[in-house]
Structure 1
Amino acid sequence: MPKRVVITGMGVAAPNAVGLSNFNNALKQMKSGIRFFSQLQDLNFSCQIAGKPEISKELLNEYFTPLQLRGLNSSGIVYGVISGVDAWNDAGLDILETESPDWDSGIIFGTGILGVDKFREAIHLIDEGKTRRLGSTSVVQTMASGISAYLGGILGCGNQVTTNSSACTTGTEAILMGFERIQSGKAKRMLVGSCSDHGPYIWGGFDAMRILPNKYNDDPEKASRPMSESASGFVPGSGAGALVLEDLDSALERGARIYCEVLGGEVNSGGQRAEGSMTAANNEAVIRCIQNALKNSEVDPNEIDSINGHLTATTRDSVEIENWTRALNRRGEDFPYINSLKGMTGHCLSASGSIECIASVLEIYNEYIFGNLNGEDKHPDILKLIDAESIPDTKIERKINILAKASFGFGDVNAVTIFKRYIT
């Protein structure tokens, strides 16, 4: 029989809060983490605002030794290690100090690109003929699997330890990859998640594409406006999120706290056919992904209480809503609640899926639905499809039984995960 999979630990480094409790409070208070950065202004960016977790030196010293911090110049690794170790501790798991690793525990931790600032530093040193000054950690900081390697060594995991990369879909995909490994009995627990570097060398390409807002440099917190008529592009962000997935029997045996159950999901691609492209989703693929996620999870569309969408504050928001109505065959007042975290954090790129999944799980566990920041002027094309009440402007106290979380990424790749309240 397939194993049931539950979530027993979480950790997060998001633009609007670092640490799970802080993040939960930020969601309830609808706190924005989007700020102005003078560096972007100095570099002549059109969009001079972004979302970036605030990490103090004191906090860094709690997770890294002085030796590890020497030459560390990868923000994605910093965010990933903080969120991953926090998730492990939150699950009540020990960090092994033995010679033998934990053969039952593994890691799937994704990223888009890692160590861009370290790459830049390395290029200058190499071009100047100073290769020996690169240091011994330049490779691990710039290889994509550097984050899973870092965490694997810290936690002593002996099961599969790897990295996935699927643009904005990365974090949600990592959860489903870990889910399948546990469900099949190949692991008892998997630390899953994703991270993204911050800075101009990550965000510059998007600024060049003119898909970032440039009218809110003096009012950053108003800039990210999912499902809004006045939305003018997504605000770039960064950070990391991590979740401990565990075999239900293992969780019960050790008396672990259970946040919710993962019922299943689906990943697919639109093949960049029809209306699908490198930057836009194939609508048929999105609909199929949603419907197959429900089928794989044995959930009826009418059982969905809430949706945490991809919803980036672009012209694609109304198209995404239409795809949800077609996939669920629900519209108007029959449509479930739907929200987007990106109003508070911006679009955290490869970290977005994991951070937003954590927000979704917190909603289920703490019985509320967070409001959509800056969504007061709802797009008329969306209101033709669903009632305004389905898009809450403020927090709603409400018990959620089943929630669908979606991520749709560059390259026309999709992932949908179905979470359910755990009832003993």
Structure 2
Amino acid sequence: MNNNRVVITGLGVVAPNGVGLSDFIEALKQGKSGISFHQELADLKFSCQIGGIPTISDELKSKYFTDLQLRGFNSSGILYGCIAGIDAWKDAGFDSNPDSELDYDTGLIFGTGTSGVEKFREAIYKLDEGQVRRLGSTVVLQTMASGVSAYLSGMLGFGNQVTTNSSACTTGTEAVLMGFERIQNGKAKRMLVGSCSDHGPYVWGGFDAMRVMTYKHNDSPEEASRPMSATASGFVPGSGAGALVLESLESALERGAKIYAEVLGGEVNSGGQRQGGTLTAPNAEAVQRCITKAIQNSGVSSNDINVINGHLTATTKDGLEIENWTKALHRNGGNFPYINSTKSMVGHCLAAAGAIECVASVIQLNEQFVAPNINCEDLHPDIEDIVNREQIPTEKLNLNFDVIAKASFGFGDVNACVVFKKFN
């Protein structure tokens, strides 16, 4: 059995606070929020009338899609995913020539949650009006779950495994680990991995109905996403995409590629909605096991973890997540790693969250800083009881470190944790 080392050679991101790698890096360093008020949500009587939506101009779209592809195109998740994926592929030193040879050494695992909702709604109205012949030829492609993978593989010409995964908020982190294992086992040289999520009322409405989104900051959107804060009042919905090019170390060195970081390993599991776990709440034992196994599978010890990029959604479960980390690592107080939540700046990007946050984790590792937890000056007392306040920076922290752990915990009681290491 092969046991190839796997490195990251390309990154791409479409986030509410930055579209493109350079803008996103600066946003992370500056603690820039991408949350804004949306009149459409207010008109529809949402309790939460704010959200994180990336800014994509028509000019930018035309750099990735032909006029023919954009005709009748109305799927924000696929749009975000294709931009992030193509950016990551180019960042890795490849091009997106539509006439390129089929690449059997490269595959694609790109996840999503609910895909093409706006397009599906548009199709329903036309069908109800008896206009089936006016649906257009891309309705199926824009609304099927694997639509983003179908678009991307056609644009880039990948001939290895091409698929879409979907595991709620763990989707992006799970995709990274699926691609990692395929390269590690020698079944591919490269895998483009990531995830995306649509935006808008038809994706976010169910969460608003569940009362898990904040309603207290419609007039101050940039202060709304407050992971680990005593005044956190629910998550802020977001959208976008993150993408990473994973590559065998041998292949990367052979072509002289720049290397952002190494993927050491990870773990995916489920709490089975047992022992306190439900559709919406985690089984604490399973979460701790996921973290512990991820560290074991990565060949490091818990003391090697310098920084954590948590799931941390600004809900009542933030304290439990920190407690689970302390128990899994057997570290607390001032011995606990530095920890941050990218969601403080972008909101909860649902199926895209794991991928965007994996990109954020790799950026911090590569550039040697810890991004701030904005809106967390009033640390929740339950967290302050077990972790020193200094471990949760509210301003950018320059730090020489080697290992960062990224975890995602999703609806359905599913968990994923991946460990990245600075490449030497």
Coarse TM-score class (shorter-chain normalised): over 0.9
Q: 1:63, 1:71 → 2: CA distance?
A: 16
TM-score between both structures, scaled by the size of structure 2: 0.99
AA aligned opposite 2:183: I
Match of 1:112 in 2: 113
Q: Do the aligned residues in 1 keep the contact of 2:98 with 2:155 (CA within 8 Å)?
A: no
Match of 1:391 in 2: 392
Other structure's SS at 1:13 match = strand
Q: Do the aligned residues in 2 keep the contact of 1:363 with 1:400 (CA within 8 Å)?
A: no
AA aligned opposite 1:369: V
AA aligned opposite 2:254: E
1:271 partnered with 2:268: no
Q: Do the aligned residues in 2 keep the contact of 1:213 with 1:234 (CA within 8 Å)?
A: yes
Q: 2:14, 2:400 → 1: CA distance?
A: 26
Superposed counterparts of 1:166-245, under 5 Å: 166-245=167-246
AA aligned opposite 1:222: E
Q: Do the aligned residues in 1 keep the contact of 2:100 with 2:157 (CA within 8 Å)?
A: no
Cα gap change, 1:96 to 1:59, in 2 (>3 Å): closer
1:113 Cα offset (Å): 1.0
Q: Deviations over 1:351-403 (max 9, x none)?
A: 00000000000001001000101000000000111100000010001122010
Q: 1:296, 1:102 → 2: CA distance?
A: 30
Q: Do the aligned residues in 1 keep the contact of 2:226 with 2:375 (CA within 8 Å)?
A: yes
Q: Deviations over 1:339-360 (max 9, x none)?
A: 0001100000000000000000
Match of 2:61 in 1: 60
AA aligned opposite 1:405: K
Match of 2:78 in 1: 77
Other structure's SS at 1:132 match = helix
AA aligned opposite 2:48: C
Q: Do the aligned residues in 2 keep the contact of 1:407 with 1:414 (CA within 8 Å)?
A: yes
Other structure's SS at 1:262 match = strand
Match of 2:257 in 1: 256
1:95 Cα offset (Å): 2.7
Q: 1:95, 1:211 → 2: CA distance?
A: 40
Give aligned pairs, total. 423
Q: 1:301, 1:3 → 2: CA distance?
A: 23
Match of 1:44 in 2: 45
Q: Do the aligned residues in 1 keep the contact of 2:407 with 2:418 (CA within 8 Å)?
A: yes
Q: Do the aligned residues in 2 keep the contact of 1:96 with 1:102 (CA within 8 Å)?
A: no
AA aligned opposite 1:55: I
Q: 2:423, 2:101 → 1: CA distance?
A: 33
Q: 1:378, 1:97 → 2: CA distance?
A: 51
Q: 2:209, 2:37 → 1: CA distance?
A: 18
Percent identity reads 67
Q: 2:161, 2:101 → 1: CA distance?
A: 15
Other structure's SS at 1:294 match = helix
Match of 1:340 in 2: 341
Q: 2:396, 2:295 → 1: CA distance?
A: 26
Match of 1:143 in 2: 144
Q: 1:126, 1:276 → 2: CA distance?
A: 41
Q: 1:35, 1:99 → 2: CA distance?
A: 40
Q: 2:64, 2:133 → 1: CA distance?
A: 27
Match of 2:16 in 1: 15
Q: Do the aligned residues in 1 keep the contact of 2:14 with 2:240 (CA within 8 Å)?
A: yes
AA aligned opposite 2:126: L
Q: 1:96, 1:231 → 2: CA distance?
A: 47
1:95 partnered with 2:96: yes
Match of 2:299 in 1: 298
Q: 2:293, 2:322 → 1: CA distance?
A: 17
Q: 2:127, 2:400 → 1: CA distance?
A: 57
AA aligned opposite 1:143: M
Q: CA RMSD in A?
A: 0.7
Match of 1:420 in 2: 421
Unaligned runs of 5+ in 1: none
1:98 Cα offset (Å): 4.5
**Structure 1 segments of 4+ aligned residues over 2 angstroms from their partners:** 94-100
1:94 Cα offset (Å): 2.8
Q: Do the aligned residues in 1 keep the contact of 2:88 with 2:244 (CA within 8 Å)?
A: yes
Q: 2:335, 2:88 → 1: CA distance?
A: 36
Superposed counterparts of 1:314-353, under 5 Å: 314-353=315-354
Q: Deviations over 1:276-332 (max 9, x none)?
A: 000011000000000000010011000100000000001100000000000000001
